[in-house]
């Protein structure tokens, strides 16, 4: 009996020892299932995380395509803005037309005087925004904005605001936007155009003056005179026709009215 009792105790102890192992096995099996479940969850999470960047990349690509297309829509607006200088071109052409008009006011002269000294000869055209004193000789045209004082020689046309010649020798047209004064001992071979004129020298050419013309006693004129009024001092010599076509009274109209 003691032997069987000991055997029974040994068997019960062995069973008790085996029972915790089974629980461990069960726990181990449960743990593997949980690991598999967690692994599947992680895979799904990774797939979702991978899908989100792909969606974001697609959105970025669509935005970049829209940005590429935007300049094509903006270009017509830039072309419309670029057409505005056409108005400026029209204004410039209009200004050029006005400048070509004879009655256009000349640019204001600067306060400076250029001097061509005695013994100096200039060959070529001269332009200046100031005044000029010519004591030497110039072979060429002169176009200045200021006053022109000549006591030397000029072979060419002269244009200035005012012209004064004293003991000068000029071959060419004399054009002044103001007055012209030809002193004694001056000889001019060419036409004179001005708003007023005082002549004491010799002129071979036509005189066209919008205002008055005064011929001094030493004046010699070989050419036609057109002016508003003429004063001829005793001793002046004129070889040509004198017409006061710029006068306030028109003789032809006067006598036509008189006939009526």
For residue range 39-88, list pLDDT tens digits in order: 677 667 656 655 555 556 667 667 656 655 544 544 545 554 444 444 34
For residue range 81-117, list pLDDT tens digits in order: 444 444 344 434 444 443 444 434 467 888 899 999 9
Q: How far apart are the first and last CA of the chain?
A: 185
Mean pLDDT value of segment 208-226: 96
Give me the count of residues in the chain: 260
Instruction: Show the domain range for 51.
Output: 1-104
For residue range 141-194, list pLDDT tens digits in order: 999 999 999 999 999 999 999 999 999 999 999 999 999 999 999 999 999 999
Question: Please, which residues have CB within 8 angstroms of residue 237's CB and are 6 or more apart in sequence?
Answer: 219, 220, 221
* Pair (131, 228) in one structural domain: yes
pTM of this prediction? Answer: 0.58
* Pair (166, 243) in one structural domain: yes
Torsion sign (Cα): 28, 29, 32, 33: negative
Secondary structure of residue 251 in the 3-state scheme = helix
Q: Residue 122: inside a domain, yes or no?
A: yes
d(CA 187, CA 169): 5
Q: Residue 260: inside a domain, yes or no?
A: no
């Amino acid at each position: 009996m003691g032997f069987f009792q000991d055997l029974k105790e040994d068997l019960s102890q062995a069973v008790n020892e085996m029972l915790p192992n089974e629980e461990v096995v069960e726990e181990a099996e449960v743990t593997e299932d949980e690991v598999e479940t967690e692994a599947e969850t992680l895979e799904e999470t990774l797939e979702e995380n991978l899908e989100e960047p792909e969606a974001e990349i697609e959105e970025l690509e669509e935005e970049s395509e829209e940005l590429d297309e935007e300049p094509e829509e903006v270009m017509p607006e830039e072309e419309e803005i670029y057409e505005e200088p056409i108005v400026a071109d029209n204004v410039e052409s209009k200004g050029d037309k006005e400048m070509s008009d004879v009655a256009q006011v000349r640019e204001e002269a600067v306060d400076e005087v250029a001097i061509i000294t005695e013994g100096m000869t200039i060959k070529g055209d001269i332009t200046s925004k100031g005044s000029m004193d010519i004591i030497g000789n110039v072979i060429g045209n002169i176009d200045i904005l200021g006053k022109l004082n000549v006591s030397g020689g000029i072979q060419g046309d002269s244009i200035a605001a005012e012209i004064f010649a004293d003991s000068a020798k000029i071959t060419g047209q004399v054009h002044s936007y103001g007055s012209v004064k030809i002193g004694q001992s001056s000889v001019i071979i060419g036409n004179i155009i001005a708003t007023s004129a005082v002549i004491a020298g010799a002129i071979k050419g036509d005189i066209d003056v919008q205002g008055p013309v005064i011929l001094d006693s030493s004046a010699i004129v070989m050419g036609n005179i057109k002016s508003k009024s003429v004063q001829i001092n005793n001793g002046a010599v004129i070889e040509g026709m004198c017409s006061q076509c710029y006068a306030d009274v028109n003789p032809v109209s006067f006598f036509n009215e008189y006939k009526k």
